[in-house]
Amino acid sequence: MPEVLLQRAFEVRGGDFDKAGETSSEIKALLKEVGIDPTLIRRAGVVTFEAEMNVVMYAESATVVFTLSDEDISIEVFDRGPGIADVDLAMQEGYSTATDEMRQMGFGFGMGLPNIKKNSDIFKLESEVGKGTRLYSAIRLDGAS
Amino acid sequence: MMTHGFRIDQDKCRGCLSCMRACPTHAIRVRDGKARYIPEKCIDCGSCLKSCPYGAITATTWSFQDMDKFKFKVAVPSPVLFGQFPAGVTPAHIVQGLLSVGFDAVWDYGVELFLASRAVLHYVENWKGPFPLISVSCPVVVRLVQVSYPRMIDQLIRLQIPREIAGREIKRRYAKELGLRPDEIAAVYITPCQAKTISILHPAEGVESHLNGALGISEVYNPILASANQQRNGLPPPAEIPNIVRNSTFLGWSVREGLGRSLARHNSLHVTGLANIIQVFDDIEKGKLQNVEFLEAHSCWSGCTGGNLTVANVYVTLSKLRSLVGDLPEMDAETLAEVNSRYPLEDFSLEAPVLPRPIKGQSGDLREKVRLLQEAEAVLKTLPGYNCGLCGAPTCKEMAKDISAGEASKADCVFFSKDRLSELYKRFLLNDR
Ligand SMILES: Nc1ncnc2c1ncn2[C@@H]1O[C@H](COP(=O)(O)OP(=O)(O)O)[C@@H](O)[C@H]1O
Ligand SMILES: [Mg+2]
């Protein structure tokens, strides 16, 4: 069993574009503080940022749980929101239901979920329409991907 | 080898906290009444040097004497030099002036600017990684990334900068022409700032410099001016018009936001001033600058024209450069021919990528580091949070880290120890005499 070394929970609010990105910044800062390899920090940063943005864009609110164990970095996002009806479709590169407004802000090109998956060693996405979505991503510390 | 370039004279330092407060990377602590560096956190920006009221801080320098061991000495002046002198002093006078102070040749890196621009354009267009790409022309920016934003290190453009390409070409060309060994030839940058000197003498981790040293503009200014005045009083004007004025690109470089211009088709950003750069880097980390492809950043708020080794007023310099550029064409046939012939033959990539700087306490056992982090967080909760700095650390947060690492104690905080307060007061009385 991996031993949990550090765990933190963050709240993210839907629609809050102003604060978007703060959770991933904080997680990156924690990882830097404990000397995690910059490449792994960057991967964890992409995962958290994209997941956080999806909450901001599509959900009502979410809890992000960051866990550092002696084996991996894991990020788990539980959101309360509309959920995703077709997860396989949402995972496709370029698929997006973002509004024009969001696109003007530079988001919503349909690469978020695929990039999360690409940067994860373990990736899970489960959703219940009308209730919410749970995303799990783990990045191994030994760098094997 | 530690690569930072400043020293604090312990006799002159009065422990006044000015430098500690000015340091953007929290690289200074004042312990036992004296300031000292945490070398691996220093990014060579020179904020401390400027802030010290007692002149206790000095920087790594290089001097005319260091040049003597070379057989053939080539000056590589920054374009900023040409904007420093009063009206009537022409680029030709300045080139002549450099020769009169002991250089055997003067190299303007106009061609190298074009070569580098082309290489960067190609690099940006073929880049598959994350944006924005960051220019490596300002050494302070490179070190800031190494020290504070190591996960952006791959975004530093892995290409030689113009002055370095020039250094390499100087060695190659003169070695061939004069039958000398490359190590008998000195390529000496005439620099507007300290940070570039340091980047030549102690390049960023992983990188080497093709230049041998640097002299500050302030060091060569007076001799050049004297020579220019002699030239103007009767001596025949220099026969040759220097290449520098063949086109407007070299002299106009600092006026026109450098590389950004040749990347006009790409979304590029030019940021100046360290505080602004830090803000932009934080925004990049927060994902707020997704569409920017190229970032040119200069630590000095006015770009290199305002470097700490310049002499003239920034605005006067810019205006002078603008008038020198006048209506010169951006490119001329001769330069173009040279660029076209060299571009395919030379490799502009950095020999090795810039590496993140190893920070003390960030290697070793993960469990132990997590423990330190948690302890620092616990200590921070007990500190007053005023960030007064009297403990000798710039913020309570930094102090908490120092305490958890065993480098300071809670008794250094005036809110915990009255002795600390009276000790500081005694020191004040002593210093005041
Ligand atoms: N947390 C979520 N809640 C509801 N829908 C989501 C969520 N995350 C993603 N989606 C849906 O999946 C689509 C694809 O997501 P993503 O790959 O991140 O691209 P983008 O965010 O650019 O649209 C989104 O457009 C949206 O319809
Ligand atoms: Mg998305």
| Rounded distance between C-alpha atoms, residue B107 and residue B77, angstroms | 7
Distance in Å, alpha carbon of A2 to nearest chain B alpha carbon: 13
Chain B contact for A41, CB < 8 A? yes
In a domain, A45, yes or no: yes
Smallest CA–CA distance from B292 into chain A, residue: A106
| Rounded distance between C-alpha atoms, residue B215 and residue B199, angstroms | 13
Does residue A69 carry a pLDDT above 50?
yes
Chain A contact for B150, CB < 8 A? yes
A123 vs B418, more confident: A123
N-terminal to C-terminal alpha carbon distance within chain A:
20
In a domain, A145, yes or no: no
Q: Which amino acid is at B391?
A: C
Q: Is the peptide bond before B162 cis (omega within 30 degrees of 0)?
A: no
Confidence tier at B211 by pLDDT (50, 70, 90): very high
What pLDDT does B294 receive? 93
Would you call A28 and B362 a contact, using CB atoms and an 8 Å cutoff? no
Distance B400 CA to ligand 2 centre (A): 37
Select from B253, B252, B255, B257 the least CA-distant residue to B268. B257
Distance in Å, alpha carbon of A42 to nearest chain B alpha carbon: 6
Q: Whose CA is nearest to atom 18 of ligand 1?
A: A112
Would you call A35 and B288 a contact, using CB atoms and an 8 Å cutoff? no
Torsion of the alpha carbons at B92, B98, B100 and B106, rounded to the nearest 10: -80
In the predicted model, what is the mean pLDDT of residues B271-292?
88
Query: Which ligand has its closest atom nearest to the C-alpha of A110?
Result: 1
The H-or-E segment that residue A126 falls in is: strand A122-128
Tell the burial category of A36 from Cβ atoms under 10 Å away from its Cβ (0-12, 13-18, 19+).
buried
For the ranges A76-85, B177-186, B280-289, the lowest mean pLDDT is seen at B280-289
**Cβ count near B94 (within 10 Å):** 25
| Rounded distance between C-alpha atoms, residue B389 and residue B408, angstroms | 13
ipTM: 0.86
Confidence tier at B330 by pLDDT (50, 70, 90): confident
In a domain, A114, yes or no: yes
Q: What angle do CA A14, A20, A23 make, to 5 degrees?
A: 105
Share the mean pLDDT of chain B: 90
| B158 shares a domain with B92 | yes
Does residue B183 carry a pLDDT above 60?
yes
In the predicted model, what is the mean pLDDT of residues A69-89?
97
CB half-sphere exposure, B345, CA atoms < 13 A? 8
Distance A58 CA to ligand 1 centre (A): 7
Q: Is the peptide bond before B344 cis (omega within 30 degrees of 0)?
A: no
| B53 shares a domain with B82 | no
Q: Hey, what are B98's tokens? A: 């450099």
**Which residues on chain A are in Cβ contact (under 8 Å) with B287?**
20-21, 24, 49, 53
**Which residues on chain A are in Cβ contact (under 8 Å) with B129?**
none
| B236 shares a domain with B98 | yes
| B316 shares a domain with B428 | no
Q: What is the pLDDT of residues B380-399, one digit of tens each?
A: 999 999 999 999 999 999 99
- CATH of residue A123's domain is 3.30.565.10
Count Cβ neighbours within 10 Å for each residue of B239-258 and write b for 16 or more, e otherwise: eeebbbbbbbbbbbbbbbeb
In a domain, A80, yes or no: yes
Smallest CA–CA distance from B368 into chain A, residue: A34
Q: How many domains does chain B have?
A: 3
Give the rounded percent of residues in chain B with a pLDDT score beyond 90: 71
What pLDDT does B361 receive? 57
Q: Hey, what are B284's tokens? A: 């990049």
| B26 shares a domain with B170 | no
> Which of helix, strand or coil describes residue A74?
strand
Does residue B413 carry a pLDDT above 90?
yes
Using CB distances shorter than 6 Å, the residues near ligand 1 are A 50, 54-55, 57-59, 79, 81-82, 84, 90, 95-98, 108-114, 133
Would you call B286 and A25 a contact, using CB atoms and an 8 Å cutoff? yes
Q: Hey, what are B294's tokens? A: 């190229």
Does residue B3 carry a pLDDT above 70?
no
Select from A92, A45, A62 the least CA-distant residue to B154. A45
Chain A contact for B128, CB < 8 A? no
In a domain, B380, yes or no: yes
Distance in Å, alpha carbon of B286 to nearest chain A alpha carbon: 4
Would you call B151 and A41 a contact, using CB atoms and an 8 Å cutoff? yes
Q: Which amino acid is at A35?
A: G
Is residue B73 within 8 A of residue B188, CB to CB? The reply is yes
In the predicted model, what is the mean pLDDT of residues A21-29?
93
**Domain of B398?**
364-433
B152 bridge partner residues: none
DSSP state of B156: B
Q: Hey, what are B200's tokens? A: 């030549």
**Domain of A108?**
4-140
Chain A contact for B362, CB < 8 A? yes
In degrees and rounded to multiples of 5, residue A34 shows phi and psi of -95, 15
Confidence tier at B363 by pLDDT (50, 70, 90): low
Q: What is the pLDDT of residues B94-115, one digit of tens each?
A: 999 999 999 999 999 999 999 9
- Strand intervals (E) in B52-202: 57-59, 72-77, 105-106, 133-134, 185-191
Q: What is the pLDDT of residues B287-311, one digit of tens each?
A: 778 789 999 999 998 899 999 999 9
Q: In three state form, how does the secondary structure of B183-206 look? A: HHEEEEEEECCHHHHHHHHCCCCC
**Which residues on chain B are in Cβ contact (under 8 Å) with A103?**
none
Overall pTM surpassing 0.95 (yes/no): no
What pLDDT does B60 receive? 81
What pLDDT does B362 receive? 56
What pLDDT does B253 receive? 86
Distance in Å, alpha carbon of A27 to nearest chain B alpha carbon: 11
N-terminal to C-terminal alpha carbon distance within chain B:
40
Chain A contact for B361, CB < 8 A? yes
Would you call A6 and B374 a contact, using CB atoms and an 8 Å cutoff? yes
**Which residues on chain A are in Cβ contact (under 8 Å) with B151?**
28, 32, 38-39, 41-42, 45
Confidence tier at B321 by pLDDT (50, 70, 90): very high
Q: Hey, what are B265's tokens? A: 């088709």
What pLDDT does B161 receive? 94
> Which of helix, strand or coil describes residue B298?
strand
Among A21, A33, A45, beta carbon nearest to B288: A21
**Cβ count near A78 (within 10 Å):** 17
In a domain, B341, yes or no: yes
- CATH of residue B428's domain is 1.10.15.40
Would you call B287 and A24 a contact, using CB atoms and an 8 Å cutoff? yes
Q: Where are the alpha helices (DSSP H) in B253-365?
A: 274-285, 314-325, 333-342
| Rounded distance between C-alpha atoms, residue B38 and residue B45, angstroms | 14
| B339 shares a domain with B409 | no
A69 bridge partner residues: A4
| B189 shares a domain with B305 | yes
Q: Hey, what are B147's tokens? A: 């020290």
Is residue B83 within 8 A of residue B318, CB to CB? The reply is yes
| B177 shares a domain with B244 | yes
Distance in Å, alpha carbon of A68 to nearest chain B alpha carbon: 9
| B223 shares a domain with B297 | yes
- CATH of residue B51's domain is 3.30.70.20
| B92 shares a domain with B54 | no
**End position of a domain, from candidates B345, B379, B398:** B345
Q: What residues contact residue B316 under an 8 Å CB cut-off, 6+ apart?
A: B83
In a domain, B356, yes or no: no
Smallest CA–CA distance from A30 into chain B, residue: B373
Does residue B1 carry a pLDDT above 60?
no
Distance B141 CA to ligand 1 centre (A): 35
Does residue A145 carry a pLDDT above 60?
no
| B152 shares a domain with B19 | no
Q: Hey, what are B223's tokens? A: 């001799």
| B235 shares a domain with B193 | yes
A78 bridge partner residues: A63, A134
Chain B contact for A34, CB < 8 A? yes
In the predicted model, what is the mean pLDDT of residues A119-140?
97
Among A24, A38, A106, beta carbon nearest to B356: A38
Tell the burial category of B383 from Cβ atoms under 10 Å away from its Cβ (0-12, 13-18, 19+).
buried
In the predicted model, what is the mean pLDDT of residues B143-158?
92
Q: Are strands B72-77 and B28-31 parallel, antiparallel or unpaired?
A: unpaired
CB half-sphere exposure, A40, CA atoms < 13 A? 23
- Strand intervals (E) in B226-279: 268-272
Q: How many domains does chain A have?
A: 1
Confidence tier at B285 by pLDDT (50, 70, 90): confident
Confidence tier at A1 by pLDDT (50, 70, 90): confident
Mutate to test the interface with B, among A6, A50, A55, A68 (most CBs of B within 10 A): A6
What pLDDT does B280 receive? 95
Atom from ligand 1 closest to the CA of residue A108: 22
